[in-house]
Amino acid sequence: MHLLRGAIRHYDWGDVDFIPSLLGESSTGKPCAELWFGTHHGAPSEVFIDGGWIALEKVSGDLDILVKVLASARPLSLQTHPTRTEAARGYARENDAGLPLDHPTRLYRDPHDKPEMVIALTRFEALCGFRPTQQSVADLSSYGWHHEAAVLEVQGIRNYVHWCFDADSMPPLKNCPQWLRDLAAAYPDDRAIRVAPLLHHVILQPMQAIALHAGNVHAYLKGAAVEVMSSSDNVIRAGFTSKHVDVTELLSVADFDVIEEPVQTPLTSGVVSVYESPVEDLLVERIDVDGTHQLPTSDRHRIVLCTEGAVGELTSGHAALVTPGQREVLAGHGTLFVCAGTR
């Protein structure tokens, strides 16, 4: 294994303590939202080879996955991501329009899809995927949102969401659950408040996960997690943010199909736990090393992230690259996430 040096991203929604604590460092009081490992141009990693640090891309090429530790102290935007076909089409359209890649209103910064896996490291709260309609109708009615309930029951999820963003007034919040009132307090007058109750409000316990396929409408509310995704910047937002929102585009690419249960517990065999991915070419495994474990070879580059304990040279909060064909004996006591894309 070759050690990696990642990069911390200091977004304003980040937690000030979790990532420094994970790394065994003292908090500076500055929000530490994400810790990145990959070749993404926004914060590319370095790898330790032959006694020195060099750009990871020189060893691995351009990796199509990005591995993050995410630590949120307050909600992130209501958003979704396009399919590969939608991404390619949107990227070409905005290029033809002459919109710079770094323009704040740009939606498609590359021609790739962005499936994601989120595995909780702490209690992790999120909104994820649409619930069965009758469950949402019953909850809206219990809030006293009788008009909203009627619109949803008659018009269905897609038309209801479209109607929400045309509404002029905010609904009463007195009878709403605390999580929804907190969200409204953080983003007053945000029309996405009416959409939030239609999504699964999930509370992941450590090591539980959600898999986000293209079109899944979601928002992360609070907590720390490992996030594994395609190395893409294509995010389409519709609320709970100060960044650019495009409701029309979200309505165009969102998946309004019902998800019965988004939370997953991995399939475990011995010390290896395998998470069900939203796409076939994204691999995420957890290995709970207690002594020694043989990591088999692979024809793909793998990023191995340690989130607890120490295994070989890897300690909590640090990661390493395993190159194709490389065989490793993992020795120590700790939790590792093994992540791979297509190459």
Dump pLDDT digits (tens) for 139-179. 999 999 999 999 999 999 999 999 999 988 899 999 999 99
Cβ-based burial of 246 (10 A; exposed 0-12, middle 13-18, buried ≥19):
middle
Task: List phi, psi (to 5°) of 232.
Answer: -135, 155
| Mean confidence (pLDDT) of the chain | 95
Q: How far apart, in whole angstroms, are the C-alpha atoms of residue 230 and residue 237? A: 18
Helix, strand, coil proportions of the chain in percent (round to 5)? 20, 35, 40
What's the mean pLDDT in 118-127?
A: 98
**pLDDT (0 to 100) of residue 168:** 84
Q: Residue 84 — pLDDT band, cuts 50, 70, 90?
A: very high
Q: Residue 63 — pLDDT band, cuts 50, 70, 90?
A: very high
Q: Is the pLDDT of residue 230 over 80?
A: yes
104: left (phi over 0), alpha (psi -120 to 50) or beta: alpha
Q: Is the pLDDT of residue 35 over 80?
A: yes
What's the mean pLDDT in 107-132?
A: 96
What's the mean pLDDT in 128-137?
A: 97
Q: Residue 281 — pLDDT band, cuts 50, 70, 90?
A: confident
Q: Domains along the chain?
A: 2-127+201-261 (2.60.120.10), 267-340 (2.60.120.10)
What's the mean pLDDT in 36-54?
A: 94
Dump pLDDT digits (tens) for 232-264. 999 999 999 999 999 999 999 999 999 999 999
Q: Residue 343 — pLDDT band, cuts 50, 70, 90?
A: confident
Q: How far apart, in whole angstroms, are the C-alpha atoms of residue 218 and residue 79? A: 6
Nearest partner of 262 among 130, 124, 68, judged by Cα = 130
Q: Residue 87 — pLDDT band, cuts 50, 70, 90?
A: very high
Q: Residue 88 — pLDDT band, cuts 50, 70, 90?
A: very high
Dump pLDDT digits (tens) for 169-211. 899 999 999 999 999 999 999 999 999 999 999 999 999 999 9
**pLDDT (0 to 100) of residue 280:** 87
Q: Is the pLDDT of residue 295 over 90?
A: yes
Query: What are the tokens at 162?
Result: 């479209």
